[in-house]
Amino acid sequence: MSPRLQSMSPSTCQNIKRYLSFPAILLSITIADQDYQLTDDTFLLINSKAIHSTKCVHENYALVIQIPPNFLKHNLPDIDQLTFQLPFPRKQSPEYQKLLPLKHILRKMYGLELMQGDGYKLKINSLLYDLLYLLYRDFRIELPRNEFLKHTKNLSILSKIMKYSEINHSSDISLDEIAREAGFQTKYFCRFFKNNVGCTYLFYLNQLRIQYIYQDLLNTDTPIYQLLEKHGFTNYKLFRKMFYDRFHTTPRNIRKNE
C-alpha cells in the first residue's frame, strides 16, 4: 500500500492516517474537540475510526498515509482495544526527538512515492512495517474495557447519524429529526455530536453538502443555483462564505480552472 496525495474533507477515519505537511503552510485538523495546526514539516496521527475534519488554510502539499483496517487487524489482532497517542511538541524538545525515527520513515516513503522506481511499492511496504513497529512499541495505549465499550457504542451511533445524513443531505434535516434518528433528546444530541465530532451538526451537514456540490462543479455543467437546490443548500450567502473558507476561491473559479 502506497501513500498518496489527496484532498481532505470532514469524514470518518476508517484507517490510521498520518499527515506530513512539507511547505511552511498550514493545515488545520480537528479530532473530536481538539484542534491541531500543521505547519512546515509537522505531522499528526489520526487513530482508526476517529471522527475528524481537515481544513486547508492555504494551498499546500500533504502526504497522507492510510492503513486499511484489515491490514492492521491481521498484524495487530488487539488493534480494536488499542489507541496510538503521539505528542504534538515544539521542535528541539525531548518529546520531539522521540518522533524523529517516525519522520525519517515518512520522508523515505514520500521520496519513494515521488520517484516510483523499480520495486518502490515493496520498499514502501517494508517501511510501513517499520512504522507500525515503532508506533506499537513506543506510542500504544491499551483502552480500559469500559472506555473501549463506550467508544465502540459512540462510533456505532455516529456511523448511523452520518449514513442518515448522506442519504438525506438534500432534504431539510432538522435537529429534532436527526436527534430522533440517534435516539436522543435534541439538547443531548447537540452536546454528543459536538463533543465527538468537534463541530455542530448543522456545520457538518453543510460541509457534507458542499462536498457533493464541489464534485458536481467538477463533473457537470449544471448551474450553481441548481446544484444548491439539488443538495439541500438553501442559504446562498452562507454557501459562498463556507465554500470560500474551505477552498479559498469561488465556485465559478473552481469550474473555470477545470
| pLDDT at residue 168 in the model | 96
Task: Using a pLDDT cut of 90, give the percent of the chain over it.
Answer: 39
- Predicted confidence band at 201 (pLDDT cuts at 50, 70, 90)? very high
**pLDDT given at position 23:** 44
Amino acid identity, position 149? L
Domain 146-257: CATH architecture, name and number where available: Orthogonal Bundle (1.10)
Q: Is the dihedral of CA 247, 27, 19, 9 positive or negative?
A: negative
pLDDT on residue 3: 38
What is the C-alpha separation between 195 and 5, in angstroms, rounded?
A: 29
Query: What local confidence, expressed as pLDDT, does residue 24 receive?
Result: 45
157: cell is 451511533
- Give the helix/strand (H/E) hosting 52: strand 51-56
Q: Do domains 11-142 and 146-257 have the same CATH topology?
A: no
Question: Where do the structural domains in the chain lie, given as residue ranges?
Answer: 11-142, 146-257
**Nearest-angstrom CA–CA distance, 145 and 160:** 23
- What is d(CA 220, CA 129) in angstroms, rounded to the nearest whole number? 42
Task: Please tell me the predicted confidence (pLDDT) of residue 32.
Answer: 67
- 17: pLDDT confidence band, cut at 50, 70 and 90? low
Phi, psi dihedral angles at 87 (to 5 degrees):
-70, 155
Residues 6+ apart with CB under 8 A from 100: none
Band of pLDDT at residue 16, cut at 50, 70 and 90: low
Q: Which of 42-46, 117-121, 150-154 has the lowest mean pLDDT?
A: 150-154
pTM of this structure:
0.65
Angle between helices 175-182 and 186-197 (to 10 degrees): 80
Q: Which listed CATH number (1.10.3470, 2.60.120, 2.40.300, 3.10.620) goes with 11-142?
A: 2.60.120
